[in-house]
Structure 1
Amino acid sequence: MNPNHVLLITAAGYIVGSKLANDEKKQSILLGDVHINNTAQRLIDHFESLEIAKEHIIGYKSLSNDDSRNLIARWQSDYFTTS
């Protein structure tokens, strides 16, 4: 099964994860393998799963597996440089 990767934009930062459940009746989205890029604190958090209220989502974009890996790698190289 190919997970459905998404980029979500929220007030807390940019969130990349695999969509596990998206029930139209629920007011939240359940994501797995979640990375949150909080640019205000220059911090990247990783969670196994996270439930996000739809009302907190400002914008979103579907990502391929490669796109999500490349985006996370860019975040990590920006914050955790070895120089």
Structure 2
Amino acid sequence: WDALRPYITKLYFDESWPLKEVVQTIWDKHGFSATPRMYKYRLQKWGLDKKFKEKEVAQMALLKKQRDAAGKESEFLMQGRPIQWDLVER
């Protein structure tokens, strides 16, 4: 798992590939066999979650509203990576 972590992170989190495609690509290119459930467990353990938590969204919305009222632009980061506000609004 550790040897493939950077590649899995790149595909799943950075490039937003569906988990099913990540599993198949890792199998095709590296011969590494694991079930989607095993991937989900490992991704959770690594803290790689593509979904926003309700509490995080509420906090970002409040902060954005305050900054908009002050005429300031906002950029949000999740796990050190910029996120798009339209994804948060969904």
Normalised by the size of structure 2, how large is the TM-score? 0.27
Greater fraction strand: 1
Normalised by the size of structure 1, how large is the TM-score? 0.29
Greater fraction helix: 2
RCO higher in structure (CA 8 A, sep ≥6): 1
